[in-house]
Structure 1
Amino acid sequence: MRNRYVLLADAVVISCAALGAFVIYFGWLFFQFRPEFLPFLAVALLVKLVVFYWCGLYRRYWRYASISDLLLVALAWGAGAVAMSLLVAVALWVGWIQEFSRATLVIDSLLTLLAVGAIRLSIRVFYDPGVKTQPRWPFSQGEETARKRVLVVGAGDAGMIVVREMQRNPQLRMDAVAFLDDDPEKLGKRIYEVPVLGNTGSLKQVARNQSIEGVIISMPTAPGASVREVVETCHNLGLRSQTMPGVFELLDGKVSLSQLRRVEITDLLRRSQVATSVMSSRYVTNQTVLVTGAGGSIGSELCRQVAFSRPAKLVMLGHGENSLFKAHANLTKTFPDVPIHVAIADIRNQARIEQIFRKFDPKIVFHAAAHKHVHLMEENFQEAISNNVGGTGILVETSLKANTERFVAISTDKAVSPNGFMGVSKRIASHIVRDAGRQSGRLYTVVRFGNVLGSRGSVVPFFKEQIARGGPVTITHPKMKRYFMTIAEAVHLVMEAGGISKGGELFVLNMGEPIRIVDLVEDLIRLSGLRKDQIPIVVTGVRPGEKLEESLWESGAEVQVTANPDILKVTEPEMPVDAFLEAKEALQQAAQKGDRLRVESILCDLVPTFTPSFNDPLSGDDQAAEA
């Protein structure tokens, strides 16, 4: 409905309100003895319409009116009532009118509020398909029966938005039949005319009684255990279940049916939401931020969450142009107002890195670039040293020269008591960053965590491919355990840790309990709609550089809880600074020569808890030379 028609409707009801006030107070024959009516009517029309226009009542799309719009109506009405009272008082004082009933003003104001509010409410109701009564003609019976009967698990804000969207979009052919929610206060209540029939434990009974055909899990803040219980019940009942993304994926808190997706392993393993400070990542706002490894899983998620905080400029630095192209395209589509630049470079190329820093002058650096595959780094130890150690050293040195204020490096639990080149190289890289923070007094810090679910090259996509092929799924050991966290949650905590840094700290994310890899595989098989006995699991043996279980910190480390219980401050034995400076050049030279034994010897001196794997100490080239 066009707002000019709303204005005309307001003019009519304002006139009716003025007339009604005089009739109610003075009776139908007030014209004979109340000459002030016509001047009052003219002033009411002029003043109230001007005030309503000034308050913005005619710049609203009333078919989508919300609570804030209704509050605006109340504000405009109050302003109009005050203006009318002041004008009447002035008219009495000047002598333009001899008398005026205050009761008439009150009645007029109340009638105006009711009438103006009713106009807008009627527009809202008329255009809302959720409250319209749809006639059911005989010929439309087939269309009605084609609608899918849906049960919504979670009657919070997300669940209400999901139901509302179903009601507003009949073309979705989904009928919300009932809610389930564990809040006893909601049991038996109706939300948007949809009843809350029980808690999540009653899913089986409600699904059968209500002939449910599908289940939507709308609990973005719920822990994975709660999601798992619902999913397993749906699986046993043969019902398809879909879910909303977790809270860390919904950066802006906006929920819609377009975000519905199949339940993933990340949903089953996510943890309870920890209340975090709204300002925890605001330190990137209006700053130039550079992210290394920006084309990778963690790097691209860092870019997404940084862009959400509205930096002055975001620089995506990486070596692979294809992954950077894809990540950049997604970000520019989601955040069109954020200046985003791509810098293709190898972090080991010092001249190129210095050129990028001179061009963009980043004040904050998130360092996510690294070689991370354990068994590949055992065969290519030279790359682990040159990239993870040498590349980090170049980035830190360049950041210090460029007066970069904050540097946050990503580390791994494989850096704890490492027995592979990947882990020990990350341990030394952590030392480089933290030592720079302590020596310079700048906010240079390290954040360590375990495996992230769904990252590029992680076990989850690999297992999914094997399951899709019908198996077998290969695991290295039935007792192998790993710490897992979703990418979005890990990055959220990384950014928060960067915000609380004082310089030189090692923060470790609270990863919860480690998960057996075989249990992870069985979950993936069930989520694929199969039974465990349909997909064989084959044990291939532990590879060089791997451990059955990882640790999050060294034995004897001092662990302190920060303001966020999911971020721990850990103090571990440090490398002697002088010894490290002397060994750094020797380490890189030995790696360049491919001298594995010399590299291992230097690493054992630098990191006493390092245990080299039992790999053949001679590379293929060295063996050929020996022959």
Structure 2
Amino acid sequence: MIKNYFTYYSQKFASRWLVFGIDLAIVLATFFMAYFVRFNFTLNFDLNQFLIQVPILLAIASLSFLVVGSFKSVIRHTGFTDVVNVFKAVALMAFLTTLIILINTATNFIPGFTIPKSIIVFHALLSFVALCGLRLVFKIAYNHLKGTLIDTRNVMIYGAGDSGIVTYNALINNTKVNYNTLFFIDDDVKKRGKLINGIRILPLNDINETFIKHNNIDEIIVASQSIDTSKIISLVDSLIDFDVKIKKVPPIEDWINGEFSSNQIKQFEIEDLLGRPPINIDNPNLLNEFNGETVLVTGAAGSIGSELVKQLSNFNLKKLILVDQAESALYDVQQDLKRDGKYNYTAIVADIRDGLRIDTIFQQEKPTMVFHAAAYKHVPLMEKSPYEAIKINVNGTKLLADTASRYNVKKFVFVSTDKAVNPTSVMGATKRMAEMYISCLQKESKTKFITTRFGNVLGSNGSVIPLFKKQIEKGGPLTLTHKEITRYFMTIPEAAQLVLEAGTMGKGGEIFIFDMGESVKIYDLAKNMIKLSGLKFPEDIDIEITGLRPGEKLYEELLANGENTLSTYHKKILISKTRELDYENVKAEIEELCITNRFQNNNIVLKMKNLIPEYKSNNSDYERFDKRVQIYKKAKSIISKGKTFDNKSSVNL
């Protein structure tokens, strides 16, 4: 009951006029005290003269407080600025009192009115001490009650700079939780051992399990805005096994209206632990590249497509065209644009496999640039449906690219994947075929065809992190296909930025790959997600190994066999030098494959394996074709050399 009353009334603030009245009462009391002390703690002074002085002094004090506004501050949150304001008000009061006495001495406007100079000085000193002291006493009493009656959390703040101090003040001002800041942590040797508001600054090396248990630490809040990602990972790794939560202060640009409150402190997300600094692109050429262009985005409702739409909408485009077959998801993207005050777009529900529909869109909208992000991307599903994978990933790309070439679109940017490199799945092979077709088309088209490859995108539809989050919410276990599986990761905004940047620098025919740092072990990622959720592995949630899925790799690659790279002006973007293709034959075979009957899955896979030498199935029913393809190629090689089969070579085959 008492706790509820305190929580309720702690949300309310005392009237500033009540504070104003109390301040005047304190001024009056200290004025009497100044006379009492001045006359050796006796009342041997002229009380009549004192009573004449009181109303004039109160008028002067009222004017000083009104001018400075010292009574307007929230008493329980008194800080240095409030103390300075009290000093200004008292100094102004003493100055005005002295000025009026000097004027009255010259004019005798108020007969007999004077105040000894020693009383003025002593009164100003007593008033300042009493006004500040009462505020601090009230603040201490409030904080004591707050710590007694509401939840208390012992915290440490990582970062003893400006951001750390702002965080400390925000924690103090929280009325729902009593944050008891015990220590600051800082890497700066010069700050170690020093105090901030009486709180000691410690080095990170002093923080261990014994220290945390001894001081009963509940949370560590990372307030430093300049801390390296590697240090964050080291901090999380070193403390994540202890019973302590690790939280972060958002970047200053994300503070609400430039103000920071404790409610904005968030739990660390797995996205913060990529093992590399975030990729940021600040290229002014992008403004010129997209100025006045009509840009079409396919797969505009997907994870990458919707982020491309979001970032493209910030440029001065003539028009933005959104194409997707998912009606509900496309509607959501459209509503997001409206909420952001963007109206220069057209949302179109269409299937990229429908050549006539695509041609009509190009004819009506006349796009000058195309970003092609529409695709089927789930490896196990596509392993069971090669025909569907071909229809969307290959034939859809072919129809779109042919149409773009026919309408002389300036640039066509194709969003591919690292699964196209040395593919082990149907999905990866279809994306590689799409890359190859675009390369063939570049030889005969005015359109600049550009391909971008990158790895897994954090938070995208169907990716591992949303899956793990759902499994954690349900109490586990987390399912993992193999303990040693690794993946490259990047965030959705990073992926979209790099696609736009690659589209800007592309001259036609390039395959751009992105430097995503070190690959991440998914088993470690799963353990960290469990711990970041405040749970223990394996006591609270375990990890279940289910075995590799059809077509799945243990690790992804960014370069195929026989490929190497060229650098660009952006250190995170490289150009892959792919093997030379027999463009006429490859293009013809891809076109033939696109009209394959839907019931010929085995035939489709065999043709893809013949077309892509590096395509070797993994953990899939189609592995049986790999040896057959090798035999076919060996026989073809023998025949091409004009040789005939003897019994021995037939046995070898």
> TM-score, normalized by length of structure 1?
0.67
**How many Å separate the matches in 1 of 2:409 and 2:199?**
56
**How many Å separate the matches in 2 of 1:212 and 1:183?**
22
> SS state of the match for residue 586, structure 2?
helix
CA offset digits 1:522-578 (Å, max 9, x no partner): 122222222222233332222221222221111221212222222111111143210
Instruction: Using the TM superposition, give the Cα deviation of residue 163 of structure 1 relative to its aligned residue in structure 2, in angstroms.
Output: 6.0
**How many Å separate the matches in 2 of 1:510 and 1:585?**
33
Instruction: Using the TM superposition, give the Cα deviation of residue 414 of structure 1 relative to its aligned residue in structure 2, in angstroms.
Output: 0.9
CA offset digits 1:470-527 (Å, max 9, x no partner): 3333222222222222222222222222222122111111122222222222122222
Verify: 1:538 aligned to 2:570, yes or no.
no
**Contact 2:163/2:224 (CA < 8 Å) preserved in 1?**
yes
**Contact 1:417/1:554 (CA < 8 Å) preserved in 2?**
yes
Equivalent residue for 1:140?
142
Change (3 A) 1:196 1:277: farther
Verify: 1:318 aligned to 2:324, yes or no.
yes
Instruction: Using the TM superposition, give the Cα deviation of residue 308 of structure 1 relative to its aligned residue in structure 2, in angstroms.
Output: 3.7
Change (3 A) 1:306 1:270: farther
> SS state of the match for residue 477, structure 1?
coil
Instruction: Using the TM superposition, give the Cα deviation of residue 609 of structure 1 relative to its aligned residue in structure 2, in angstroms.
Output: 1.0
Instruction: Using the TM superposition, give the Cα deviation of residue 165 of structure 1 relative to its aligned residue in structure 2, in angstroms.
Output: 6.2
Instruction: Using the TM superposition, give the Cα deviation of residue 383 of structure 1 relative to its aligned residue in structure 2, in angstroms.
Output: 0.8
Q: 287, 292, 295: which one pairs with 1:289?
A: 295
Verify: 1:422 aligned to 2:424, yes or no.
no
Question: Is there any run of 5+ residues in structure 2 with no aligned partner, and where?
Answer: 1-72, 74-133, 624-653
Change (3 A) 1:274 1:188: farther
Q: 571, 590, 596: which one pairs with 2:601?
A: 596
**How many Å separate the matches in 2 of 1:236 and 1:510?**
31
Q: 394, 400, 403: which one pairs with 1:395?
A: 400
Change (3 A) 1:246 1:426: farther
**How many Å separate the matches in 1 of 2:438 and 2:203?**
49
**How many Å separate the matches in 1 of 2:621 and 2:525?**
32
Equivalent residue for 2:462?
457
Equivalent residue for 1:240?
245
Q: 2:142 corresponds to which letter in structure 1?
A: S
**How many Å separate the matches in 2 of 1:597 and 1:214?**
57
**Contact 1:579/1:606 (CA < 8 Å) preserved in 2?**
no
Change (3 A) 1:407 1:134: farther
**Contact 1:390/1:588 (CA < 8 Å) preserved in 2?**
yes
> SS state of the match for residue 299, structure 1?
helix
Verify: 1:582 aligned to 2:588, yes or no.
yes
Change (3 A) 1:376 1:567: same
**Contact 2:437/2:590 (CA < 8 Å) preserved in 1?**
no
**How many Å separate the matches in 2 of 1:597 and 1:425?**
14
Equivalent residue for 1:490?
495
**How many Å separate the matches in 2 of 1:368 and 1:190?**
54
**How many Å separate the matches in 1 of 2:323 and 2:180?**
47
Instruction: Using the TM superposition, give the Cα deviation of residue 219 of structure 1 relative to its aligned residue in structure 2, in angstroms.
Output: 5.3
Show the 5 A alignment for 1:322-401: 322-333=328-339, 335-337=340-342, 339-401=344-406
Larger mean CA deviation between 543-552 and 235-244 belongs to 235-244
Larger mean CA deviation between 527-536 and 182-191 belongs to 182-191
> SS state of the match for residue 416, structure 2?
strand
**Contact 2:154/2:218 (CA < 8 Å) preserved in 1?**
yes
Instruction: Using the TM superposition, give the Cα deviation of residue 300 of structure 1 relative to its aligned residue in structure 2, in angstroms.
Output: 1.9
Q: 291, 295, 299: which one pairs with 2:305?
A: 299
Equivalent residue for 1:505?
510
**Contact 1:162/1:255 (CA < 8 Å) preserved in 2?**
no
Count matched residues.
Answer: 484
**Contact 1:298/1:491 (CA < 8 Å) preserved in 2?**
yes
Instruction: Using the TM superposition, give the Cα deviation of residue 367 of structure 1 relative to its aligned residue in structure 2, in angstroms.
Output: 1.5
Q: 2:359 corresponds to which letter in structure 1?
A: E
**Contact 1:375/1:545 (CA < 8 Å) preserved in 2?**
yes
Q: 1:227 corresponds to which letter in structure 2?
A: I
Change (3 A) 1:603 1:256: farther
Instruction: Using the TM superposition, give the Cα deviation of residue 331 of structure 1 relative to its aligned residue in structure 2, in angstroms.
Output: 3.7
CA offset digits 1:206-258 (Å, max 9, x no partner): 978987653333456655432223334554453333235689x9799989556
**How many Å separate the matches in 1 of 2:257 and 2:570?**
20
Change (3 A) 1:578 1:263: same
Equivalent residue for 1:98?
none
CA offset digits 1:399-456 (Å, max 9, x no partner): 2233332222111111111122100110111223344445435442111111122211
Equivalent residue for 1:107?
none
Larger mean CA deviation between 195-204 and 359-368 belongs to 195-204
Change (3 A) 1:500 1:287: same
**Contact 1:221/1:273 (CA < 8 Å) preserved in 2?**
no
CA offset digits 1:374-393 (Å, max 9, x no partner): 11101111110000011111
Show the 5 A alignment for 1:215-254: 215-218=220-223, 222-244=227-249
> SS state of the match for residue 370, structure 2?
strand
**How many Å separate the matches in 2 of 1:341 and 1:351?**
19
Change (3 A) 1:601 1:236: closer
> SS state of the match for residue 335, structure 2?
helix
Verify: 1:445 aligned to 2:450, yes or no.
yes
**How many Å separate the matches in 2 of 1:569 and 1:331?**
33
> TM-score, normalized by length of structure 2?
0.65
Q: 2:321 corresponds to which letter in structure 1?
A: V
**How many Å separate the matches in 2 of 1:133 and 1:438?**
79
Instruction: Using the TM superposition, give the Cα deviation of residue 593 of structure 1 relative to its aligned residue in structure 2, in angstroms.
Output: 3.4
Change (3 A) 1:138 1:150: closer
**How many Å separate the matches in 1 of 2:363 and 2:192?**
61
Equivalent residue for 1:20?
none
**Contact 1:553/1:570 (CA < 8 Å) preserved in 2?**
yes
Larger mean CA deviation between 268-277 and 348-357 belongs to 268-277
Change (3 A) 1:150 1:386: same
Equivalent residue for 1:547?
553
**Contact 2:513/2:558 (CA < 8 Å) preserved in 1?**
yes
**Contact 1:452/1:487 (CA < 8 Å) preserved in 2?**
yes
CA offset digits 1:67-126 (Å, max 9, x no partner): xxxxxxxxxxxxxxxxxxxxxxxxxxxxxxxxxxxxxxxxxxxxxxxxxxxxxxxxxxxx
**How many Å separate the matches in 1 of 2:499 and 2:466?**
24
Instruction: Using the TM superposition, give the Cα deviation of residue 325 of structure 1 relative to its aligned residue in structure 2, in angstroms.
Output: 2.4
Q: 269, 293, 296: which one pairs with 2:274?
A: 269
Change (3 A) 1:194 1:279: farther
**Contact 2:387/2:604 (CA < 8 Å) preserved in 1?**
no
**Contact 2:548/2:619 (CA < 8 Å) preserved in 1?**
no
Larger mean CA deviation between 593-602 and 405-414 belongs to 593-602
Q: 1:462 corresponds to which letter in structure 2?
A: L
Equivalent residue for 1:16?
none
Change (3 A) 1:240 1:339: farther
Equivalent residue for 1:25?
none
Larger mean CA deviation between 201-210 and 431-440 belongs to 201-210
Q: 1:603 corresponds to which letter in structure 2?
A: M
Change (3 A) 1:467 1:165: closer
RMSD: 3.8
